């Protein structure tokens, strides 16, 4: 039978004499990886899904307190009662949140976050009904205290990034910066959305929409099981993060940093109203995104001290602006610049918390940091309010400066980083 010398049609096949040569197929060029660090971060499999759910769940964190104040003060005619109710919820959160985070570390995010959020959402709805139907005042305190079971959604998201990018300091630095910018964005948009809903619809609308967003976001977040950090076995669990050397001083620095935010908020509202505070949050959001594009620090302790020193210096700008002039644009510019120091400080501090927290207790460690912040906000609000009432609005801006300086001294004296 004659040999068929018809040239093959496949371009990968050639004929040389009586030999059929098969050339290796050249692989298609790989798609280049994104150069933008945030695009690379969100290209992580499953990252966009859990990020979307987490952002949806985090937005109500900036809505609930404003909605409660508007709703209670409008129905009962007492801002004192509204403030006392929200303060009770803040105190309950400081007690309950670390326990919720410990359960998350022990049993997993999905198993704990969903029922804990359901309890918190029911507490918000109970508060709404008690206010609407004129229930006794003690029911308002009890209902709002039930919202303390709300899980630390930002901490759970950071724990997922730490699990997905363990061993990659650059990606983890970008992730922490992204999460801090998301925090600032939610706390900038949340109060405005709450006020808009309460004014445009009905006084209870902010609380109702916030509860729905919280529950929906957590359900979406918890459904992303592929990116959920594994639960540490009981045999490998370590002691409380609070007992780690350097952690108590770091939490004390977070407490003082919270006082910066609480005092700045109260003093600014007394001086120029609450709308201008959005500039501080905007400055922090932009600074956080820019900070995430930088390389992570080789010496994270020195970076934290530098950030705290910068925050101390920039927090003096509102004091200088109000002392020199009564111009609202000058104060607005000062707040914008002061906010630029916030996100880098928080990102570096949270990165250090992750490094100091024992394995398997990451949610608890970050929740302790957030709890310290909440305590500092409460203390700073009270101190700033007392200063405004007894010494004047301009002098009140000295409180954030002193609190930032205190955070710097505490961190310099007590924060230590273990050797890798």
**Which among 293, 264, 292 has a CA at the least distance from the CA of 351?**
292
This prediction has a pTM of 0.80
Would you state the pLDDT for residue 301? Answer: 93
Helices 328-339 and 316-324: angle between axes, nearest 10 degrees: 170
pLDDT number for residue 418: 67
pLDDT at 300: 92
Q: What Rg, from alpha-carbon coordinates, does the chain have? A: 26
* The pLDDT value given to residue 24: 54
Cα separation, 392 vs 400, whole angstroms: 15
**Under a CB-based contact definition with an 8 Å cutoff, are residues 364 and 354 in contact?**
no
The residue behind tokens 């609202």 is: 328
Q: Are 349 and 304 in contact (CB under 8 A)?
A: yes
Domains and CATH numbers, the chain: 47-231 (1.20.1250), 240-420 (1.20.1250.20)
For residue 177, what are its two tokens? 């910066």
**Per-residue pLDDT, 319:** 95
Q: Cβ atoms within 10 A of the Cβ of 76, count? A: 16
Written as tens digits, the pLDDT of the chain (420 aa) is: 444 555 555 555 555 455 545 555 555 555 555 678 899 999 889 899 999 999 999 998 888 887 888 888 888 887 778 878 888 888 888 889 999 999 998 899 999 999 999 999 999 999 999 998 988 989 999 999 999 999 999 999 999 999 899 888 899 999 999 999 988 888 778 877 888 888 889 888 889 999 999 999 999 999 998 999 988 775 555 677 888 889 999 999 999 999 999 888 888 878 887 678 788 888 999 999 999 988 888 899 999 999 999 999 999 999 999 999 889 999 999 999 999 989 999 999 999 998 898 877 888 899 899 889 888 887 888 788 888 888 888 999 999 999 999 999 999 999 988 665
């Amino acid at each position: 039978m004659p040999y068929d010398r018809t040239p093959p049609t496949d371009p990968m096949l050639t004929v040389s004499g009586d030999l059929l040569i098969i050339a290796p197929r050249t692989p298609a060029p790989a798609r280049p990886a994104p150069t933008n660090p945030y695009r690379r971060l969100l290209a992580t499999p499953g990252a966009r899904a859990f990020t979307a759910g987490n952002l949806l769940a985090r937005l109500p964190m900036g809505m609930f307190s404003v909605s409660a104040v508007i709703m209670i003060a409008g129905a009962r005619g007492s801002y004192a009662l509204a403030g006392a109710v929200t303060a009770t919820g803040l105190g309950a959160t400081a007690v309950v949140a670390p326990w919720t985070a410990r359960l998350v570390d022990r049993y997993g995010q999905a198993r704990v976050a969903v029922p804990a959020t359901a309890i918190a959402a029911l507490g918000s709805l109970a508060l709404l009904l008690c206010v609407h139907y004129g229930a006794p005042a003690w029911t308002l305190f009890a209902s709002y205290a039930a919202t303390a079971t709300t899980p630390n959604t930002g901490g759970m998201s950071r724990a997922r990034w730490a699990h997905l990018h363990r061993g990659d300091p650059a990606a983890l630095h970008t992730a922490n910066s992204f999460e801090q910018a998301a925090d600032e964005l939610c706390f900038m948009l949340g109060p405005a959305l709450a006020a808009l809903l309460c004014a445009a619809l009905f006084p209870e609308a902010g609380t109702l929409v916030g509860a729905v967003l919280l529950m929906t976001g957590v359900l979406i977040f918890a459904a992303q099981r592929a990116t959920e950090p594994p639960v540490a076995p009981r045999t490998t669990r370590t002691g409380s993060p609070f007992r780690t050397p350097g952690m108590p001083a770091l939490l004390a620095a977070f407490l003082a940093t919270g006082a910066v935010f609480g005092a700045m908020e109260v003093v600014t509202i007394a001086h120029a109203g609450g709308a201008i505070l959005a500039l501080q949050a905007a400055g922090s959001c932009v600074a956080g995104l820019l900070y995430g594009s930088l390389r992570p620090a080789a010496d994270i302790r020195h970076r934290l001290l530098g950030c705290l020193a910068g925050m101390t210096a920039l927090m003096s700008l509102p004091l200088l602006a109000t002392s020199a002039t009564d111009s609202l644009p000058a104060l607005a510019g000062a707040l914008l610049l002061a906010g630029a120091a916030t996100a880098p400080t928080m990102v570096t501090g949270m990165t250090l918390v992750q490094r100091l927290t024992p394995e398997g207790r990451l949610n608890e460690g970050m929740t302790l940091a957030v709890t310290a912040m909440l305590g500092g906000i409460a203390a700073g609000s009270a101190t700033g309010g007392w200063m405004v009432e007894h010494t004047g609005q301009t002098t009140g801006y000295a409180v954030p400066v002193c609190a930032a300086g205190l955070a710097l001294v505490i961190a310099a004296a007590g924060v230590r980083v273990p050797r890798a």
